[in-house]
């Protein structure tokens, strides 16, 4: 299936988000999804535009709220494959509370963050993922705070699928997205997706020199949570690949009575118009 649509992305030439878009499209096609079986929900930011560039249902939501919307979609319609996406500012600043609770809730959706360590849409301010000392217009003397370590945080919050990739490595990213979609629970994939216009520090070259692929390790057991935390600590989280997966934990939906047999999307409205209007009046 072709998950491309006619919309031409208006990202800057060279932006990492192009490759993330391509990887999502390839993963959906490789899995054998139909466009009407996929929903991409996004937040606000350059990366938030992605929901309009994929031939599937798209919902461009409000800042930091991609995850609540995506979880609502999945709760209402079990038959949809749901991808939530956005940037590091969207997910790890205003949306951070949602991110942590979505991780521990373990609903069966995939969250892909395009992490460029800066606010691109608003023209280059320091983000929660910018490293200490990072100089922008919002921190002209250099950022004082250290970068939030989302990988360690996600693991500590009970992530059942944790992966990281680099937008240059579309092959690895596509495989991880496929694995994430097929994971029965919440899958969190952080993608280093360089902002070529405003971030002149964390460039493609910078990542090529710093990132270590887990597949290059002789022995790495992605089912061992202690090993996952150790590898993150030892490499300052600059690793790519499947970091941790726990297939034993049940997804949120498995605890919900009637989720499979009586989905909200197929529920019949049994109220008459008068009863419905009365109900609305009560809640005004």
Does 196 interact with ligand SF4 (rule: CB under 6 A)?
A: yes
Stretch of 88-96, 147-155, 160-168, 190-198 lying at the interface with ligand SF4 (CB under 6 A): 190-198
Which residues 110-169 are close enough to bind ligand SF4 by CB under 6 A?
116, 120
* 72, containing H or E segment: helix 66-76
Query: Nearer to ligand SF4 by C-beta: 50 or 150?
Result: 50
Contacts of residue 211, Cβ cutoff 8 Å, sequence gap at least 6: 166, 192, 238, 239, 240
Does 17 interact with ligand SF4 (rule: CB under 6 A)?
A: yes
Q: Which of 77, 125, 197, 236 binds ligand SF4 (CB under 6 A)?
A: 197
| Interstrand relation of 239-245 and 118-119 (parallel, antiparallel or unpaired) | unpaired
Q: Which of 277, 112, 282, 88 is nearest to 188 (CA)?
A: 112
- Dihedral sign (CA 207, 212, 216, 221): negative
Distance from C-alpha of 198 to C-alpha of 209, rounded to nearest angstrom:
20
- For residue 204, the minimal CB distance to ligand SF4 (Å) is 11
- Dihedral sign (CA 39, 45, 47, 52): positive
Query: Nearer to ligand SF4 by C-beta: 162 or 191?
Result: 191
Query: Nearer to ligand SF4 by C-beta: 202 or 222?
Result: 202
Does 46 interact with ligand SF4 (rule: CB under 6 A)?
A: yes
Q: Which two tokens stand for residue 182?
A: 């097929």
Distance from C-alpha of 2 to C-alpha of 25, rounded to nearest angstrom:
8
Per-residue DSSP letter, 252:
G
Residue 22: Cβ within 10 Å count: 16
Does 198 interact with ligand SF4 (rule: CB under 6 A)?
A: yes
Which residues make beta-bridge pairs with 192? 115, 166
Q: Which two tokens stand for residue 46?
A: 């350059």
- For residue 9, the minimal CB distance to ligand SF4 (Å) is 8
- For residue 195, the minimal CB distance to ligand SF4 (Å) is 3
Does 18 interact with ligand SF4 (rule: CB under 6 A)?
A: no
Stretch of 97-105, 193-201, 209-217, 222-230 lying at the interface with ligand SF4 (CB under 6 A): 193-201
Does 240 interact with ligand SF4 (rule: CB under 6 A)?
A: no
Which residues make beta-bridge pairs with 82? 39
- For residue 197, the minimal CB distance to ligand SF4 (Å) is 4
- For residue 188, the minimal CB distance to ligand SF4 (Å) is 20
Which residues 217-236 are close enough to bind ligand SF4 by CB under 6 A?
none
Contact 54/83 with Cβ under 8 angstroms? no
Q: Which of 11, 92, 134, 252 binds ligand SF4 (CB under 6 A)?
A: 11
- For residue 68, the minimal CB distance to ligand SF4 (Å) is 24
Q: How many residues bind ligand SF4 (CB under 6 A)?
A: 11
Does 92 interact with ligand SF4 (rule: CB under 6 A)?
A: no
Helices (H), 85-159: 88-89, 96-105, 150-156
Q: Which residues bind ligand SF4 (CB under 6 A)?
A: 11-12, 15, 17, 46, 116, 120, 195-198
């Amino acid at each position: 299936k072709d998950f491309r649509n006619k919309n031409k992305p208006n990202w800057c030439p060279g932006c990492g988000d192009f490759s993330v878009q391509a990887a999502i499209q390839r993963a959906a096609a490789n899995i054998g999804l139909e466009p009407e079986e996929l929903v991409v929900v996004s937040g606000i930011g350059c990366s938030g535009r992605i929901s309009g560039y994929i031939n599937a249902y798209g919902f461009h939501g409000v800042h930091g709220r991609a995850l609540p919307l995506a979880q609502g979609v999945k709760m209402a319609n079990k038959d949809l494959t749901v991808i939530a996406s956005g940037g590091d500012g969207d997910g790890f600043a205003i949306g951070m509370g949602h991110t942590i609770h979505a991780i521990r809730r373990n609903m069966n959706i995939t969250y892909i963050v395009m992490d460029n360590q800066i606010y691109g849409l608003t023209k280059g301010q320091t983000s929660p993922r910018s490293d200490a000392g990072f100089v922008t217009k919002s921190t002209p003397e250099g950022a004082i705070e250290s970068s939030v370590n989302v990988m360690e945080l996600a693991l500590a919050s009970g992530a059942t699928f944790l992966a990281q990739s680099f937008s240059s490595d579309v092959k690895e990213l596509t495989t991880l997205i496929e694995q994430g979609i097929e994971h029965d629970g919440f899958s969190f994939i952080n993608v280093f997706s360089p902002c070529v216009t405003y971030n002149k520090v964390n460039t493609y070259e910078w990542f090529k020199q710093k990132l270590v692929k887990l597949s290059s390790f002789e022995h790495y057991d992605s089912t061992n949570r202690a090993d996952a935390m150790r590898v993150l600590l030892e490499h300052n989280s600059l690793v790519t690949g499947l970091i941790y997966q726990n297939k034993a934990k049940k997804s949120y939906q498995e605890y919900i009575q009637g989720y499979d047999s009586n989905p909200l999307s197929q529920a019949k409205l049994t109220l008459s118009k008068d009863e419905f209007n009365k109900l609305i009046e009560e809640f005004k």
